Amino acid sequence: MDYWNAITIVHEHEEGENTERCPNCAQDRLVEGLTEFELFCFGWFRMNVSQFTFDAHLIGGLIDELGLKEMTKRLFLKASSMIYANDTKIAIEKGKKKK
């Protein structure tokens, strides 16, 4: 399978099709409600945070490279913490479903 094309294809619906249960459309609706700062935090987190960046102790340096000032950095860390907590909660729930 051509995985790269599979993840970059823009999904489409037939005219008048109910998109209420479409996960892609649900995500689009949620993203529309985010501020520019929230989108930045979410995008940065997804692009940079992984088990590897934690294990290799890179995460602090990656955050420092952003050059954020005091209050902005606190807000960024709070947003990142919320994303991390949510990811952890999802992983726990997925683990429960496998049992």
Tens digit of each residue's pLDDT, the chain (99 residues): 454 555 555 678 889 888 888 877 877 888 888 899 999 998 999 999 999 999 999 999 999 999 999 999 999 999 999 999 988 988 888 888 776
Domain segments of the chain as ranges: 3-98
Answer for the pair 48, 79: CB distance below 8 angstroms, yes or no: no
Residues 6 or more apart whose CB falls under 8 angstroms from that of 11 comprise 22, 24
